[in-house]
Amino acid sequence: MTSGPLLRAHSEPLGDLPVAFDYDHLSMVPRTASSLTHRADADPSVTVGPLVLGVPLVGAPMPDVCGPEMCRALGAAGALGILHRFQPVADQVMECAAAHEGEPAAVAAAIGVTGDHRERFSRLYDAGCRVFCLDTANGAHEQVADAMAWIRNQADDVFIISGNVATAEAFRWLEDRGADAIRVGIAGGSVCETRTETAVYAPTPHAVAEAAQVRRRALIIGDSGVRNPADMCKLLALGADLVMVGSALAGTREAPGRVIVVDGKKVKIMRGAASFSVQQQVGTEDPGYIEGTETLVPYKGGVEDVVRRYLAGLRSSMSYMDARTLEQYRENVSFILLR
């Protein structure tokens, strides 16, 4: 019997392939007594280029998550919002100016790596933006490296977030090419269809752990699949510096879009970046390939309450681990594997 194409392509037998772990496979336990008198003694702040965030939380650059109101609200709460790019350049520039009102340091902007990305960068930079997210599905791509090199030639005072990647090799490749922060996680989001359409997927906790083993300087942004504060805690303890969320914010008052009532319950719409309607929104009249879905998320009220819950959960977790900083948190944490 001849071996199949997968066995021929790999020199190692399938039994030796790494076993990935996901959020629900892990739990954290304290092994030392805590000296923190209150969870408020824990300080999870992190520096992101020119910004200092009190909460290591980032709003995803999705059309139903981050508009100017969301960015202002996240900034006021100590987190960071990234304005999405699925709109005309002029509209994003106006949104950037609006988001800067009152919170001048609390906004980043997403751009692509092809098409109008150079014009979009230049106009956003002139509008005062200094933190840019190269928003692509596959960060390990020569077009991403070319876009980063071009940006570095235009300005030396920008902070570049790149990604997404799911392996140590891809993380190192982007880091070597100048990324300041890298989004780690592919196909784990609630409205992402990449896993079912392409068979490309790695659980975000596993991917973050891989990246942390090779990271030299770039920040790690754990991105996709975060459902609650515990998931954020696990990613940060595994080595992430920041955690990106989408669905957790999409149902809030500050998220773009209207509140609608379905079966007597208040909800909002959340769409993946490669969903049918988002592709139509950016000019593709009849998208031939769909890699994102559209769903409804419960209405949650104000974003401040969401951020407060995530911050409280993180600080409490840090106090269990006798950690006053995120660095101590990673040093003191102990994981157990759940079967």
Is-cis flag, bond preceding 164, omega within 30?
Answer: yes
Residues in the chain: 339
Q: How far is 83 from 327, CA to CA, in rounded Å?
A: 29
CB 87 within 8 A of CB 61: no
Q: How far is 280 from 278, CA to CA, in rounded Å?
A: 5
Which residue in 66, 96, 129, 192 is the catalytic one?
A: 192
How far from each other are the two terminal CA atoms of the chain, in whole angstroms?
A: 35
Q: How distant, in Å, are the alpha carbons of 78, 217, 229, 313 from that of 308?
A: 10, 29, 10, 9
Q: What are phi and psi of 267, to 5 degrees?
A: -140, 165
Q: How distant, in Å, are the alpha carbons of 3, 71, 198, 276 from that of 291?
A: 31, 26, 9, 8
CB 226 within 8 A of CB 235: yes
Q: What are phi and psi of 29, to 5 degrees?
A: -135, 145
Residue 59 structure tokens: 């709003």
Strand partners, 81: 59, 107
Looking at residue 315, the DSSP 8-state letter turns out to be H
Is 71 tagged catalytic?
no
CB 135 within 8 A of CB 103: no
Q: Phi-psi category of 219—alpha, beta or left, where left has phi over 0 and alpha has psi -120 to 50? A: beta
Which residues belong to the active site?
192
